[in-house]
């Protein structure tokens, strides 16, 4: 695999360096991890549809669009809270 150069402002590079150092890795590995783990909107929709099909086939549960949207909102809200606050709510 050949390398490619990605141009970013110096502030972004510096921030990536701080994050990478705090994780004990390199900027290259950090960017690679991000690219490999981040889904596009289309990929998210495909996975959601696969999950719905699995639930229907194996558990007889039909998840509606409204239920899926509501759960998505609840998850986003939960992850938006500071970690200490999430622990206290459990």
Query: Which residue's entry shows tokens 């490999």?
Result: 36
Residues 39-78 pLDDT 10s: 999 999 899 999 999 999 999 999 998 998 998 899 889 9
Please say if the pLDDT value at position 87 is more than 90: no
The model's pTM is 0.64
d(CA 66, CA 72): 10
């Amino acid at each position: 695999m050949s390398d490619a150069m990605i141009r970013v402002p110096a502030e972004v590079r510096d921030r990536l360096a701080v994050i990478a150092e705090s994780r004990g890795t390199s900027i290259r590995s950090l960017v690679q991890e991000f690219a490999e783990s981040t889904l596009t909107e289309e990929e998210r929709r495909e996975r959601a549809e696969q999950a719905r099909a699995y639930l229907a086939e194996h558990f007889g549960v039909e998840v509606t669009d409204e239920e899926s949207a509501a759960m998505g909102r609840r998850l986003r809200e939960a992850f938006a809270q500071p970690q200490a606050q999430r622990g206290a709510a459990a």
